[in-house]
Amino acid sequence: MRYLIILFLATSLISCSTQKQGTKQVFKDSKVNTDTIRIANDSLEYEIVIVEPGFNVWLASQRPRGYFGLNYLDQRNDFYIIIYNMRVNDPMGFDPNLYPFRINYEMDVDYGYEVNYLLYHYFLFFEDKYNQRLR
């Protein structure tokens, strides 16, 4: 059994991938605590955890779920992940404290709306909070 784990801890990202695609999203265990968001999906066997001070307050002020389509979020995340990983590989050009780990996000895996929504908004939050441009 393989798991996708995305952990944001002051911009620390760790993940490993899953091979299942196109399954219907059923989120059995979604929890929001102060500055931690955890979403687990048994059907895809992944978990996303975002731990970043201020992220929940910032997220509440953004456009609601459903505003962006899944295709848009997926395409934007693909782009952000490529740029982010390029910066991880260039510690002399970019602060390794901001870009400590690669994201092993598989572009052909359907992670569903909730993961793409949170990941997209985390990248926007990251840009705002750390004055970075991933575009």
What is the rounded distance in angstroms from the CA atom of residue 46 to the CA atom of residue 78?
A: 18
Model pLDDT, residue 63? 94
**pLDDT of 98 higher than 50:** yes
| 86 Cβ contact list (under 8 Å, min separation 6) | none
Per domain, the residue ranges of the chain are 4-130
Model pTM score = 0.69
Model pLDDT, residue 46? 65
What is the rounded distance in angstroms from the CA atom of residue 76 to the CA atom of residue 63?
A: 15
Say what the alpha-carbon torsion angle 74, 78, 80, 86 is, to the nearest 10 degrees: 170
Model pLDDT, residue 62? 94
Per the model's pLDDT, the better-predicted residue between 6 and 37 turns out to be 37
Q: Dump pLDDT digits (tens) for 28-76.
A: 444 444 566 666 666 656 666 777 888 888 999 999 999 999 999 999 9
Lowest mean pLDDT among 12-26, 28-42, 116-130: 12-26
Model pLDDT, residue 1? 36
| β-sheet with 29-33: strand ranges across | 4-9, 46-51, 36-41, 29-33
**pLDDT of 3 higher than 50:** no
